[in-house]
Amino acid sequence: MSERPLFDAEQRFACAHCGRCCRRLEIVVTAAEVEDYRKRRVERWFRESEGAAEGAVAGSPFEPMRGARGFYLIRQREGGTCGFLSPQGLCRLHEELGASRKPLTCRMFPFRLHPTAPGPVMTASFACPTVVESQGPSLGEQARELRALAAQWSVVHPEPERPVRIAGRRAIPAAALVTLREVLEGLLDRPGPDGRPDLRANVGRMARTLEDLSRHRVLRLADERLAEYLELTGRYAVRSDKPVPPRPPSRIGRLLFRGFLFSVAAARLQTDNRAVSGLRLGLRLRLFRILAHVHGLAPPAAGVDLGALRRVRAGLEDPEIHALAYRYLRGSVRTLGTGRRSLVEEAGVAVAVLNAALALAAMAADRDGGAVSAHDVRDALTEATDVTRAGERTPFGRVVTLLAAGVEPLYQLEAGGPFPVQATP
């Protein structure tokens, strides 16, 4: 890869060996990796099940990947765990062969490379607890390693460059995209009365900027005029202290958020039941009960209780929750423009995930009879982020984009959530 990928240099990451990715992801390996592993007789460290002895393998640890010639999957145990995960929660390939011999897929996580026409972008997934905690050296300190990893990934998994679109099919010029990122970060960093960024108000200002940019008459501007328009209006929005009139979330947006929350719960349940062929009857019934509940037709189910959102507030006032949400939003803004969705859709999905995480955290706190803690939000954010694992062009990925409903999640966050809070314990 000739160009250096863009990433959030302040984000921190160091693998904590928690094993979450080993239990939730399908591990893709190349034919060359499989050949190397066979020479090294890695089946000695493979376990068919949690209670099985190492090396008691019925067949190869690797199975051809459907629809992807030359690629394989590491076989999983019941529950979706990688067969090379040790009882201590460590990767046996890593232990025996070293970190550099792990599959490229494993070395790449939690990062994802997005080739775009303006230049490659590298995002860090908040499905990784260490990314959520922002622990370890900064990505800026790991720039050389990340560039090498991105270059290797682009050779093994080449993708065409995608244009970055504002909305619909309207592409944004590279210079204007840089300006937009700077404008949105400037809006995000606007200080509130306590000196910290006022995240709710600031996200509302970001929503208005994106909504204005996606208006038909703006989208019709020539590239130079569009860049000039964004420079003038965007920079003014960052500097202006003019009060912004409230814009409550729409009823349609609230309704679609119910569907988005169902998608998060469905992704969680299906991940937990991934090793079972098809959707078992019990899983189908639980999904149906959740769907009925989020539309007000059934009682709470599988940890989803919308009533909790009217009793408990997942407050951004808590310093730890505020810091966590700020890091998440900052990373989303700095790496906006992956080319996989339009800019408006990308921002909407990112904030919808945060809204869903705050909702899940409120539900967890309500079950425990206390206030929402940063721990609740950390756990919920890793779970909610899982919904974005589906490919953007898959049916599920398209549904997730549709349910996010553009800038609606930003207005929902500004308003304090998709549902009014009646009381705060």
Q: In 248-342, which ranges are continuous DSSP H helix?
A: 251-272, 281-294, 319-334
Residue with token string 């995240």: 199
3-state secondary structure of 170: strand
What would the two tokens of residue 287 be? 């999904």
Contacts of 79 (CB under 8 A, 6+ apart): 23, 272, 274, 275
The predicted structure's pLDDT at residue 275: 42
| Helix, strand, coil in percent for the chain, rounding step 5 | 50, 10, 40
The predicted structure's pLDDT at residue 77: 87
Contact assessment for residue 175 and residue 229, using Cβ atoms and an 8 Å cutoff: no
pTM score, two decimals?
Answer: 0.93
Q: What angle do CA 145, 149, 152 make, to 5 degrees?
A: 140
Q: What are the angstrom distances between the C-alpha of 408 and each of 210, 234, 418? A: 11, 20, 9
d(C-alpha 367, C-alpha 383), whole Å: 17
The predicted structure's pLDDT at residue 56: 80
Q: Note down pLDDT in tens along the chain; length 425 residues.
A: 557 999 999 999 999 999 899 988 889 999 999 999 999 999 999 998 888 888 887 789 999 998 888 999 999 987 789 999 999 889 999 999 999 999 999 999 999 999 998 999 999 999 999 999 999 999 999 999 999 999 999 999 999 999 999 999 999 999 999 999 999 999 999 999 999 999 999 999 999 999 999 999 999 999 999 999 999 999 999 999 998 888 889 999 999 999 999 999 888 777 665 544 445 667 778 888 888 998 888 999 888 999 888 888 777 889 999 999 999 999 999 999 999 999 999 999 999 999 999 999 999 999 998 889 999 999 999 999 988 877 676 788 889 999 999 999 999 999 987 776 544 43
Strands 62-64 and 165-167: unpaired
Contacts of 343 (CB under 8 A, 6+ apart): 164, 165, 166, 167, 172, 180, 210, 213, 336, 337
111 forms bridges with which residues in the sheet? 124
Look at phi and psi of residue 80 and say left if phi exceeds 0, alpha if psi is from -120 to 50, else beta: left
